[in-house]
Structure 1
């Protein structure tokens, strides 16, 4: 019987992690590298401090940047075995439907849905040709539990990503390529900390009170804390490894039990 270390070993694999310089993306990049993978990270800005991964600056909402990223990766690496579509975020204002313009909706869809579809179109043909590869879309529990006053457009864009990911998984299952979705809940990242801080400032309350109010709107977290980015990365590592070779087409929530659904 193969041991767990062999089943989760990624030696000889090349992975790209979008939005891979901070938060969940950085944790995933580090985890995959520790498992033996050659890791490429992309982001709009150069990472701060030491970075042992190959970095490519790219705004994935800009097709021209995506084309340059494609050219560099194919020249230097030939292609990738693992694609982590992690780039995304909440960029629109709170306040419900009346606060959201066409530009807000377009921006959220570009960042949280279309950036992933662009990368998939680039790298899937190579995976299909090898009959091997894994694509992970990083979504959010907000896709199933939207908060109208805080994240309407973001939640809708992530729900669209979930649906796209499921459809893509069905299309590619017989071609040797697995597609999975990971949906984190509240996770201790710089964007989350800024979101809570901004909410506290706009509501004229303390950060601690703001966090409690936000948790109350979602029904709370049974585990009583936010996830660490490394915990999300651990799940992603398992899903891209040979240990998960029969898994495809599923969305995995990692939320400390917060989603109030079966």
Structure 2
């Protein structure tokens, strides 16, 4: 089992995503509890917590912000990244990068990985 949560479970954006962040925090906790419950039956449970992902919806969001606030798409993208506290690698992850991580966790190559959370956010979360 691989649950997809979000870095917002630990870094909510109160002005816009409180309910989403709360739901992802609940899923994060559920994933950990489920790992303890069904792990002894041989079912592995892990979670993946993406940060900003450059999906089609993200591009449309940037276009809406550009229309409302002006500036170039790059300026708008930088404002979003700054609002997140910056992303050290300078970009959001691509959808295939998140999918690759999920596929890896679902594979037999990770037979001993269980009850873990994997953050894929380009370094956005600054704590360990």
For normalisation by structure 2, the TM-score amounts to 0.91
Distance in 1, matches of 2:43 and 2:87, equals: 34
**SS of residue in 1 equivalent to 2:44:** strand
- Matched with 1:214 is 80
Distance in 2, matches of 1:195 and 1:166, equals: 32
Distance in 1, matches of 2:118 and 2:109, equals: 16
**1:197 to partner: Cα distance:** 2.5
- Matched with 1:261 is 127
**SS of residue in 2 equivalent to 1:137:** strand
Name whichever structure is richer in strand by fraction. 1
Distance in 2, matches of 1:195 and 1:163, equals: 29
**SS of residue in 2 equivalent to 1:248:** coil
- Matched with 2:61 is 195
**1:205 to partner: Cα distance:** 2.5
- Matched with 1:165 is 31
- Matched with 2:4 is 138
1:205 aligns with 2:70: yes
For normalisation by structure 1, the TM-score amounts to 0.46
- Matched with 1:120 is none
**SS of residue in 1 equivalent to 2:45:** strand
- Matched with 2:116 is 250
Distance in 2, matches of 1:199 and 1:153, equals: 21
Distance in 1, matches of 2:93 and 2:120, equals: 8
**1:199 to partner: Cα distance:** 3.1
**1:164 to partner: Cα distance:** 0.8
**SS of residue in 2 equivalent to 1:177:** coil
Count of equivalent residues: 127
- Matched with 1:24 is none
**1:208 to partner: Cα distance:** 2.5
Q: Is the Cα contact below 8 Å between 1:189 and 1:229 reproduced in 2?
A: yes
1:1-262 alignment to 2 at 5 Å? 135-202=1-68, 204-206=69-71, 207-262=73-128
Distance in 2, matches of 1:201 and 1:151, equals: 21
User: Greater Rg, structure 1 or structure 2?
Assistant: 1
Deviation larger for 205-214 or 219-228: 205-214
Cα RMSD (Å) of the superposition? 1.4
Provide structure 1 residue ranges, at least 5 long, that are not aligned to the other structure: 1-134
**1:186 to partner: Cα distance:** 1.1
**1:150 to partner: Cα distance:** 2.4
Distance in 2, matches of 1:209 and 1:185, equals: 19
